[in-house]
A and B are shown apart, each in its own frame.
Chain A
């Protein structure tokens, strides 16, 4: 996201603080992404819709407290969405679900120059099941939402080095178990 876009969003947010109707532009822009992010962690369309609405309601409620910290507004949105999902599971509503898109997994495997096979996928799913939730959250934001480590750290309320460490450890295990070469920061 360019500095100009971040600035534009900031201006909309400043306007929204005085008139909440101005927030509509940002709602239209981010609803789909937030919905998909929540849906991936619930695999329930209605629940994802409820939690998305709750996320945006919380944003509107706390808009006056929003401070620009050099990160795009979307990072704040993801943080609130992530907290809503955590709140939902804290109420004891089942085991946490990660419903990942096959299409994206195929893409990642292709990038790692590996051949797609049912056996590989089954092993990968077993491996992911055994990963701690914190690692899965980081991997999801990194490889399914394309967030950088600074944003991931902000969203999950951890340090940037903590986010890098979690990703590194998860990928290191992946390399050892599968001989997959998924890039650590996705940019190399």
Chain B
């Protein structure tokens, strides 16, 4: 068994035969479809990246706020642990 299969063709593909497969408008339609899909994908990717950045930014801002409150000793109203228990004397 050889590495490749070699076939000898008695006929040559005629121009008429090949022209059955030549369709420029179909190619352009497919190209435009692909372009639209690429554009949609690109917008979606940008949306994902921007969303990711916004989420990271929100997390960082909250963390900074928490750190700031910790350092000034100001109770954090959102945290239950920060509420001092009421004592009756």
* Chain A contact residues, CB within 8 Å of chain B: 20-21, 24, 27-28, 31-32, 35-36, 39, 43, 45, 48-49, 52-53, 56-57, 60-61, 95-103, 105, 121, 125-126, 128-133, 136
In the complex, chain A residues whose CB is within 8 Å of the CB of B80 = none
Q: Across the interface, do B8 and A27 meet the contact criterion of CB distance under 8 Å?
A: no
Q: Across the interface, do A28 and B24 meet the contact criterion of CB distance under 8 Å?
A: yes
* Chain B contact residues, CB within 8 Å of chain A: 2-10, 12-13, 15, 17-19, 21-22, 24, 26-28, 30-31, 34
Q: Across the interface, do B27 and A129 meet the contact criterion of CB distance under 8 Å?
A: no
Would you list the 3 A-B pairs with minimal beta carbon distance, nearest first? A129-B2, A49-B21, A99-B7
Measured in the bound complex, the distance between the Cα atoms of B34 and A56 in whole Å is 13
In the complex, chain A residues whose CB is within 8 Å of the CB of B24 = 24, 27-28
In the complex, chain B residues whose CB is within 8 Å of the CB of A128 = 4, 6
Q: Across the interface, do B3 and A130 meet the contact criterion of CB distance under 8 Å?
A: yes
Write the chain A residue with the least CB distance to B17.
A45
> Dominant SS at the A interface?
helix
Name the contact of A97 in the complex, choosing from B4, B18, B28 (C-beta under 8 A). B4
Measured in the bound complex, the distance between the Cα atoms of B20 and A35 in whole Å is 11
Q: Across the interface, do B9 and A102 meet the contact criterion of CB distance under 8 Å?
A: yes
